[in-house]
A and B are shown apart, each in its own frame.
Chain A
């Protein structure tokens, strides 16, 4: 059960490191690569704090083995912004609409929102709520998060036209 060499592509950048097979992607992101934007809540797939995109689809990085993330495009919250100091419209809307309180759920929420809007640019309120069914927030009561995603959708949709 020795370490194995793993090559990961995260936010477009290549990384190579030796990991034990039981290491999850979130552990490697946070502890080895210091990409600490992705959070850990439950480690059992329930809370969504660790949500990232794997080949464009939202998954729990706490239940993804790092070894199995090889050869896939990994996007974390650090890679969502348009550039280092330019927020993504979803991030901007979360800030402007007051959708962030303690902020612990926010990276996961934003990844889930991106997973939704990439597929469905104009979701209804119900579709937004369903898309967030795998993300828990202890602070906001969700209303402002839903609003932020509506605002982001409008902004992205209009500017895309």
Chain B
């Protein structure tokens, strides 16, 4: 299928890209890796008159600590770099895992983490890990910048708070405290390459007495957008981890999941798997959180 023609704009700074965004608005699309955008254009689901390529903007593929000691990820950082990055492997294990099982080798070499999120797809592999890691996005607009927590970014299927005159400058991952662990669990019908039928991520921090001080759980492919499960998180916080406690949290996750049936899985199967994957994600997070204490 051929891609309809468009005007290609090649800004060399993000500021210049923003100016183009402001003047062309809904007639424009930002292109990072293009692995989502070009397919939508080829399938005639999306018809931008202007494609603003970030390809010529220098030095925006960074993964580095900012002044506050948190990890900042630039808009051209590719999934293949994220999955192997030593700081992400050691401090954000759910994300190194999810980026490593997104799509194929070639697509990971092309596609960006931020592009995976901006789509606001409920099944995006990296959405639930980033939700439990409490990521936020820095959005550039004509008047300046604003930082939006990821759980406020998604509005619904393919819909986010980003306006057509805005663009994402970077993603911020707050550094987890000591005794923390995170995990990503995914089930798909075919191999690892397939889009997730159901996915669950968890994050736990324990205090020195072994009590859970922070718990986050996020579910993908079970609602119009990736969701957090505050009910289950509250059950965990202030308690010592145990399999009974994890089962309780998993049952609440299952209740909160409102999946549909489609070609990838039935609604009932998805709900059942949410429960299984929540327990697995909590157990894996706990293992990492407690290993770090030694």
A interface with B by C-beta (< 8 Å): 1, 4, 20-22, 24, 43-45, 48, 51, 54, 57-60, 63-65, 67-68, 112, 115, 130-131, 133-134
Contact = CB atoms under 8 A, between A and B. Distances in A.
A44 B104 CA distance: 12
Interface of B: 1-8, 10, 34-35, 38-39, 42, 51, 53, 55, 80, 103-107, 109-110, 191-193
A51 B39 CA distance: 17
Nearest to A48: B106
Contacts of B8: 4, 21, 65, 67
Given A22-B4, A68-B55, A57 B104 contact: no
A45 B106 CA distance: 8
12 contacts: A21-B8, A22-B3, A24-B3, A24-B38, A54-B109, A58-B105, A63-B34, A63-B38, A63-B39, A112-B106, A131-B105, A134-B106
Contact of A21 (B51, B103, B191, B192): B51
Contacts of A48: 104, 106
Contact of B2 (A22, A45, A64): A22
A134 B104 contact: yes
Contact of B106 (A43, A59, A67): A59
Query: Most chain-B Cβ atoms within 10 A of its Cβ — which of A51, A60, A64, A68?
Result: A68
B1 A43 contact: yes
A114 to B, nearest CB: 12
B15 to A, nearest CB: 20
B35 A68 contact: no
Query: Most chain-A Cβ atoms within 10 A of its Cβ — which of B34, B38, B103?
Result: B38
Contacts of A60: 106-107, 110
A50 B109 CA distance: 14
B116 to A, nearest CB: 14
A59 B110 contact: yes
Given A24-B3, A63-B38, 8 more contacts: A1-B5, A21-B5, A22-B5, A45-B107, A48-B104, A48-B106, A65-B8, A134-B107
A83 B164 CA distance: 50
A60 B106 CA distance: 6
Nearest to A116: B105
A64 B7 contact: no
B51 A58 contact: no
Query: Most chain-A Cβ atoms within 10 A of its Cβ — which of B2, B53, B105, B107?
Result: B105
A20 B8 CA distance: 9
Nearest to B7: A1
Contacts of B42: 43-44
Q: Return the 3 tightest CB-CB contacts between A and B, nearest first.
A: A134-B104, A21-B8, A22-B3
A104 to B, nearest CB: 17
A22 B38 CA distance: 9
A4 B80 CA distance: 31
B110 A134 contact: no
A111 B191 CA distance: 22
Contacts of A112: 105-106
Query: Most chain-B Cβ atoms within 10 A of its Cβ — which of A20, A65, A67?
Result: A65
Query: Most chain-A Cβ atoms within 10 A of its Cβ — which of B1, B2, B109?
Result: B109
Nearest to B110: A59
A28 to B, nearest CB: 13
A107 B110 CA distance: 19
A58 B109 contact: yes
B107 A22 contact: no
Contacts of B106: 45, 48, 51, 58-60, 112, 134
Contacts of A68: 34, 53, 55
B55 to A, nearest CB: 5
A133 B35 contact: no
Contacts of A67: 8, 10, 53
Contacts of A133: 104-105, 191-193
Given A20-B5, A58-B106, A64-B110, A134 B193 contact: yes
Contacts of A20: 5
Given A1-B6, A20-B5, A65-B34, A57 B109 contact: yes
